[in-house]
Amino acid sequence: SSSTSPYSRIILKLSGESFAPTGERGISMPEVVHIAKQTVRAAQQGVEIGIVIGGGNILRGAQFTAGASSIQEATGHYMGMLATVINGLALQDALESLGAQTRLMSAIKMDGVAEPFIRRRAKRHLEKGRIVIFAAGTGAPFVTTDTAAAQKALELECDILMKATRVDGVYNDDPEKNPHAVLYDHLTYNQVREKNLRVMDSTAIAHCMEHNLPILVFNYRNDGNIERAVRGETIGTRVTS
Ligand code: UDP
């Protein structure tokens, strides 16, 4: 097949917030279909795509730490992992309504809902051109789906981890609060750590740094950006060694 992408295989990390209108929670199917359309167009560039889906639009485990909660933090994290499965089901149907072939794999065994994650099987699906959605994160509490995305990118030998966000990339300050915040077009892993930049959680950055896995942080809200990222166009912020 003729490919217009410099990459053979990528992990796309989609936050749960990409499934809800700005500032809202829950799942809005128009939002899900919007991101699914972009993903399908990106897959048509001839690149194998695995998606690690977040759950923050439903809940995050860390919200149960305030002390006032009778839900233990670990329980909250498992609830968060289940939230990603809910998102995964929505995304799967959105992708399939657009004609894509998909598989949903879960890191927590859930017969009847999703396939169990088995590395060799996941690779086989990707090789066959299926868009594979990875749900339930790492299957373990106290980390986020960013860490799951880094792990999946490494174990599935992806060329790059693409993190879709609602801003244009990584800034020196919060661009939603500071209008003078400056966008970086390139950063090293060490700069991310030293400047304490909010790219991904620190476990995820450590994994990428240790294995030299490039990260691209870009804005999913600009229509066509997933496709542009996959074609290797210079958008967003690249993080490398
Ligand atoms: N989570 C977890 N382990 C994982 C992945 C996720 O415990 O490997 C929990 C964690 O509580 C997290 C929640 O699931 O906050 C939802 O995932 P995340 O916050 O990464 O979603 P996003 O911000 O990408 O929407």
pTM of the full structure: 0.96
3-state DSSP assignment of residue 171: strand
39 lines ligand 1 (CB under 6 A): no
Distance (angstroms) between ligand 1 centre and the Cα of 56 equals 7
Distance (angstroms) between ligand 1 centre and the Cα of 133 equals 15
CA-nearest residue, atom 14 of ligand 1: 80
Q: What is the pLDDT of residue 68?
A: 64
Binding-site annotation: residue ranges for ATP: 13-16, 56, 60, 165, 171, 174
Q: What is the pLDDT of residue 69?
A: 73
Distance (angstroms) between ligand 1 centre and the Cα of 139 equals 10
Other CB atoms within 10 A of residue 178 CB: 11
> What string of pLDDT tens digits covers the 241 residues of the chain?
467 899 999 999 999 999 998 889 999 999 999 999 999 999 999 999 999 999 999 999 998 876 667 899 999 999 999 999 999 999 999 999 999 999 999 999 999 999 999 999 999 999 999 999 999 999 999 999 999 999 999 999 999 999 999 999 999 999 989 999 999 999 999 999 999 998 899 999 999 999 999 999 999 999 999 999 999 999 999 999 9
Closest by alpha carbon to 55, among 83, 93, 92?
83
Walk me through the domains of the chain, giving residue ranges and CATH numbers.
9-240 (3.40.1160.10)
Closest by alpha carbon to 122, among 51, 205, 220?
51
ipTM of the complex, rounded to two decimals: 0.99
Q: Are 181 and 172 in contact (CB under 8 A)?
A: yes
Q: What is the pLDDT of residue 22?
A: 85
